[in-house]
Amino acid sequence: MSETKDKPAIQIESLQKLPNHVAIIMDGNGRWAAKRGLPRIEGHRAGTENLRRVIRACVEFGIKYMTIYAFSTENWGRPKEEVEGLMHILEDVIDREFDELHSEGVQLRHIGHLDALPDTLREKVQRAIELTKNNDRLVLSLAFNYGGRDEIVCAVRSIIEEGIPSEDITEEVVSRHMFTADIPDPDLIVRTSGEMRISNFLIWQGAYSEWYITPTFWPDFDREEFYNALVEYSRRDRRYGKVHQEFP
């Protein structure tokens, strides 16, 4: 990539540290479409096209885990035509992109509930998960029909069903019963479109994640924007509620 005045050359090797796990709230598709006089569904379609670029950037930059917030448990309350359009877009993405993602070593996972999805779509997601389960270049978790509070409720129910005594319940026990049981907590959570909300996303796992908020709408969040987020993360001093060791 050639260097320009507006976009300096990307030098990922110059970063002092990289996040192991990046989670993204892909926000702003509807506003992106509205600015262009397009239907909201076209914004979602553009956002899905952009996802391909960001996944490739993750692989290029050496990120090992990526979680994307694609559809929340609350999104069922959106207009019926928009929800149906999102389902069709997801199915189309799996049909068009799956083989290439598989060949690039991407492992697909799902967090949330698949039971509410149309049968054909659910089967395609499950097939993609099964076929890519041994890939390890990038673990891509799709949060679809997912909610952070619902996840915690499901974890509590599972703990109760297993009969674990209350005195034995620790943070580690709860973590093992989350949808993300064998995935490290996100180091960096990115939210596009400038909104300052968690939106019920990875409430438990994101307790000490670094946040990066950008006003850029998701369809325009490109490789360079992603690199900027990594640069900012590299500058952060993660303390996990403690103080820097140089202080008394």
Active centre residues (catalytic): 27, 75
Instruction: Sort residue 241 into left (φ over 0), alpha (ψ -120 to 50) or beta.
Output: left
Task: Pull the structure tokens for residue 118.
Answer: 């149309």
What is the chain's percent helix, strand, coil content, to nearest 5? 45, 15, 40
Q: Are 209 and 25 spatial neighbours (Cβ–Cβ below 8 Å)?
A: no
CA distance 129 to 123: 10
Task: Pull the structure tokens for residue 62.
Answer: 């050496």
Q: Name the burial class of residue 29, with classes exposed (0-12), middle (13-18) and buried (19+) by CB atoms within 10 angstroms of its CB.
A: buried
